[in-house]
Amino acid sequence: MTAPAEGPDGPEGSDDRKPRRRMNYGEGREALLNAAVRVVARGGLRKLTYRAVAQEAGTTHGLVVHHFGSRDALIEEALAHAIRTSLSTSALEPGTGKVADFSVGVSDMVTADPDIQAFQYELLLESRRRPELLPQIRALYDRYFDATERELSRMLPEDAGRPLTRLVFAALDGLVLHQLVFGEPETTDTAIEELRGLLRLLAADGDEMSENDG
């Protein structure tokens, strides 16, 4: 990837919005990743500079350089962090194989931390303008597809293929985007319950076909 010509510190100047504070290593890295997510979610990728992230986290921009080394490394690690967080909070792969458990709490996830979802959509759109971002986004989004496919395969009599996986995940992804824009978490919940109803029908059809084949 290539950083913009404006450089890592950007044009913001030296005034910090938040008081600086000392952090230990683990806390600092996590805080900076969360700060990068918020900066991009609220201002787009063009606003992501060392100084903006440091100001958001309430520390020095030297700490950003120390942890990530380059703006591109910060982008890549922030995207991985966003997807890890989403996977751990969305119940996309509860591992139970029960349709009722699939994607429980998606609307709560969006309500609790909309920035981490908005960050991912910002990066997706930015990849159309900066194709060098696409391999990282494709590889990281494959983690979503893999998690979805594994859980669908637990729920359905036959292993889920990639087309069905993409269809189900696209439905969830669209619902998250709509909730970000329009709010209405109850609409998200209702729609996901409809999706579970379709998955129950698929599971029942698969069981019936297996019995007939037997």
Q: Using the predicted structure, report yes or no on whether residue 164 has a pLDDT greater than 50.
A: yes
Res. 84 pLDDT band, cuts 50 70 90: confident
Q: State pLDDT tens for residues 94-137.
A: 999 999 999 999 999 999 999 999 999 999 999 999 898 898 88
Mean pLDDT of 163-167: 96
The amino acid at residue 115 is D
Q: Using the predicted structure, report yes or no on whether residue 5 has a pLDDT greater than 50.
A: no
pLDDT at 198: 96
Structure pTM? 0.80
Res. 47 pLDDT band, cuts 50 70 90: very high
Q: Using the predicted structure, report yes or no on whether residue 59 has a pLDDT greater than 60.
A: yes
pLDDT at 213: 52
Q: State pLDDT tens for residues 180-199.
A: 999 999 999 999 999 999 99
pLDDT at 206: 55
Q: State pLDDT tens for residues 85-103.
A: 888 887 889 999 999 999 9
Q: Using the predicted structure, report yes or no on whether residue 204 has a pLDDT greater than 80.
A: yes
Average pLDDT, the chain: 85
Higher per-residue pLDDT: 210 or 78: 78
